[in-house]
Amino acid sequence: MYENTDALAVVRALRPDEPITLLRPHAATRAARFFVEKFQGKSLYAVKANPSPALLELLWNAGITHFDVASLGEVRLVNKFLPDAKLCFMHPVKSERAIAQAYHNHGVRTFSLDSHDELEKIVRATNGATDLELCVRIRVSSEHAKLSLASKFGADPSEVADLLVATRQVADALGICFHVGSQAMTPAAFSEAMEHVRAAIVQASVTVDIVDVGGGFPSVYPGMEPPPLESYFDVIHDAFEDLPISYSAELWCEPGRALCAEYASLLVRVEKRRGSELYINDGAYGSLFDAAHVGWRFPVQLQRSDTSIGTQMAEFSFYGPTCDDMDHMAGPFVLPDDIQAGDYIEVGMLGAYGCAMRTEFNGFGETETVVVEDEPMATLYSRSAANDVGLTNRQARASKK
C-alpha cells in the first residue's frame, strides 16, 4: 500500500493510469467515535455500505462492537476478521440454510423478520432455540429520505400486532426495527417512525426489549447538507424514552453511510473531453454506480499543480470507461472550465456504496489503494471527535455503557 499526504501528492508521485482509491482511516475512526460517544445506545455498522476488512477493523478499534450483516457471506467475513464481534442478521428474508449456518456455525443469535413465514423458518432452522433476539421489522415511510426503502421490506400495519405476539412467544428478547430510507434529510423521519413503533407496542400489548431505529443517517453531498447528527440523536432518544417499554430495553441503530462515506474518495483521470462531457476511467460499473443509476451528485475537485486561477467554473457530465452508453453520470459536476484530457479529478465521499459496488465489467475495475492524511471534502464530524483514536476496545465498550 502506497502512502502519501493528499490527492495532489499522489498525482505528482504516480501519474496513475488506473483509478486510485484514496483511504482516510482517521475519518472513519472519527465517525465511529462520534457514534460511540454521542448515540445513547448501541451502534451496529451496516456492513453492506463497505465490507472492507481494513475498515471493519478500524471501526472495531474505535469502539463499534456490533455489526449488521445481511447475508451469510457478510456473516463469514466479519466472523473471520472480528471473531469477538456481535453479528446481527438484519435481512428480513433469508434462506433456511443461511439462518442455520449463521446460528449453529457462527454464533449469530439476532435475526430480523417481517412475516410469519420468516418466523417459522427461523424457528425450524435453529431447532427451536430459546436464546434468540428477534426483531420484527415494521414498514415506515421513506418520504424524508433521498433513497426509499419502504416498498421491499416491513410488516404491514394490519399484520404487526399478530406478528409481535407470535414472535414474543419464541424469542428470548423481542425487538422492533425499521428503516426510514437512505440519506434521511431531517430528524422528523425518525420521530414519525417511532410513532409507528409506539402504536405497534400498544396494539400488541407485548414487552419489547430492543428498539432498532435502523440506518438512514446522512452524510454530506452537493445539494444535500443535512442538520447536525446530534439533532437526529436527540429526537430518537426523546422518542425512545417516551415509549411504553421497560427501563432495561435497549436502543439500537444501524449506521452505514454515516460511518464510512468520509473514509474514501476516488482519483480518476480524464481521458477525453467532448464539450461539457468528460470521459474518465471509472464509472457506472465501478465506484460511481450511484452517480449513474440514481443521479447521486458527489463532490469533485480538480487535482493538478497549476490551480486555474481566474478560470470560470462549468458544469460537466461524465462517461465511464466501458463500451456501454449507460456508463454515464449526468451530474452536473462543477469543475474549472479549462479541464482537459490528462487531468485528474478527485471524487469525494465514496467510502459508502463506492468500492462495494465495483465490478470488472468489460475488463475494467482494477484500482490501487493509497492512504492519505488530509481531510475529506466534507464532514459532519469536528476534528476533535478524533481525539484518543488509540482507545482500546475495552475502553470503547465501557464508554458505551
DSSP labels, 371-400: E--S--SS-SS-GGGGTTTT--HHHHHHHT
Distance CA 295, CA 208 (A): 39
Report the DSSP pairing between strands 2-3 and 20-23: unpaired
Q: What proportion of the chain, given as a percentage, has pLDDT over 70?
A: 94
pLDDT band for position 164 (50/70/90)?
very high
Sign of dihedral through CA atoms 232, 115, 78, 51?
negative
Report the DSSP pairing between strands 368-371 and 20-23: parallel
Please tell me the predicted confidence (pLDDT) of residue 359: 80
Question: Are 257 and 49 spatial neighbours (Cβ–Cβ below 8 Å)?
Answer: yes
Residues 249-261: tens digit of each pLDDT: 999 999 999 999 9
Question: Are 154 and 138 spatial neighbours (Cβ–Cβ below 8 Å)?
Answer: yes
Residues 110-136: tens digit of each pLDDT: 999 999 999 999 999 999 999 999 999
pLDDT at 396 > cutoff 80: no
Please give the single-letter amino acid code of residue 219: S
Mean confidence (pLDDT) of the chain: 90
Nearest alpha carbon to residue 93 among 44, 137, 49, 149: 137
Question: Are 162 and 201 spatial neighbours (Cβ–Cβ below 8 Å)?
Answer: no
pLDDT at 366 > cutoff 80: no
Determine which helix (DSSP H) or strand (DSSP E) holds 253, and give its type and residue range: strand 250-253
Distance CA 64, CA 21 (A): 24
Please give the single-letter amino acid code of residue 354: G
Whether domain 26-260 has CATH 3.20.20.10: the reply is: yes
Residues 297-312: tens digit of each pLDDT: 999 999 998 766 678 9
Q: What residues are annotated to the active site? A: 323
Distance CA 46, CA 255 (A): 6
Local structure of 175: helix, strand or coil: strand
Q: What proportion of the chain, given as a percentage, has pLDDT over 90?
A: 78
| Ramachandran sector of residue 275 (left: φ over 0; alpha: ψ -120 to 50; beta: rest) | left
Q: Which residue has the cell 428480513?
A: 92
Distance CA 401, CA 393 (A): 13
For residues 322-331, one letter each, b for 16 or more C-beta atoms within 10 angstroms of the residue's C-beta and e for the rest, the string is: beeeebbbeb
Q: Which residue has the cell 466472523?
A: 79
- 368 bridge partner residues: 20
Domain boundaries, the chain: 2-22+263-371, 26-260
Alpha helices in 111-210 (DSSP H): 116-125, 157-170, 188-204
Which residue has better confidence, 17 or 400?
17
Instruction: Classify domain 2-22+263-371 at the CATH superfamily level.
Output: Lyase, Ornithine Decarboxylase; Chain A, domain 1 (2.40.37.10)
